[in-house]
């Protein structure tokens, strides 16, 4: 029951964040985008929240139905999902983006090098979210036509 209520809260939060895209969606058309996060969150995780706000603004402008959006996390960027384990605001924000089909991809090299267990140390990460190399994934996605953004 608790999981259902949490999912309902995340869905409601997503609905509140999403503004009608209307003409903006027509202007921007369909997009494939990869966001690159490999930095520290800074004081009160200001940098992480700023990046996630940029992603939500992007969705609002283009429309979730017109956007394939992936976030590649490696190096210090993986800490975003560490923070989300114990920070309800971060957890809700990440959950809201995931409910809008945003994929968070995590670098296996970072996990191995920093001895991070994605099952216990990161929020809502599954085996299929792990990529062999964050930087190689960024290059691969750009070859596939994804626009690169580093917020």
Q: Which residues of 43-80 are buried (b: 16+ CB within 10 A; e: fewer)?
A: eebebbbebbeebbebbbbbbbebbbbbbbbbbebbbb
Q: What is the pLDDT of residue 26?
A: 79
Which residues lie across from 104 on neighbouring strands?
71
Strand ranges of the sheet holding 130-131, from the earlier edge strand across to the other edge = 130-131, 103-107, 67-73, 31-37, 147-149
The 10s digit of each residue's pLDDT in 98-107 is 999 999 999 9
Give yes or no for a contact between 33 and 58, defined as CB atoms under 8 angstroms apart.
Answer: yes
**Residue 137 CB: number of other CB atoms within 10 A?**
20
* Closest by CA position to 107, among listed 122, 89, 87: 122
Residues 2-18+29-149, CATH architecture: 3-Layer(aba) Sandwich (3.40)
Q: How far apart are CA 146 and CA 76, in angstroms?
A: 23
Q: How far apart are CA 28 and CA 151, in angstroms?
A: 19
Calculate the CA 96 to chain-centre distance. 9
Q: Supply the pTM of this predicted model.
A: 0.84
Sorted by where each begins, the domain ranges of the chain are 2-18+29-149
Average pLDDT over residues 72-95: 97
Q: Which residues of 92-123 are buried (b: 16+ CB within 10 A; e: fewer)?
A: bbbbbbebbebebbbbeebbeeeebebeeebb
The 10s digit of each residue's pLDDT in 26-82 is 789 999 999 999 999 999 999 999 999 999 999 999 999 999 999 999 999 999 999
Average pLDDT over residues 8-21: 49
């Amino acid at each position: 029951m608790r999981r259902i209520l949490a999912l309902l809260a995340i869905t409601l939060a997503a609905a509140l964040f999403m503004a009608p895209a209307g003409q903006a969606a027509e202007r921007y058309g369909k997009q494939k985008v990869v966001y690159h996060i490999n930095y520290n969150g800074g004081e009160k995780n200001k940098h992480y929240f700023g990046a996630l706000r940029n992603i939500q603004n992007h969705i609002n402008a283009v429309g979730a139905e017109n956007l394939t959006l992936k976030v590649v996390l490696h190096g210090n960027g993986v800490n975003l999902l560490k923070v989300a384990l114990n920070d309800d605001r971060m957890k809700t924000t990440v959950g809201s983006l995931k409910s809008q089909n945003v994929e968070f991809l995590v670098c296996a090299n970072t996990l191995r090098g920093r001895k991070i267990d994605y099952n216990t140390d990161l929020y809502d990460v599954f085996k299929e979210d792990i990529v062999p190399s964050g930087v190689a994934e960024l290059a691969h996605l750009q070859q596939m036509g994804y626009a690169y953004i580093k917020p």
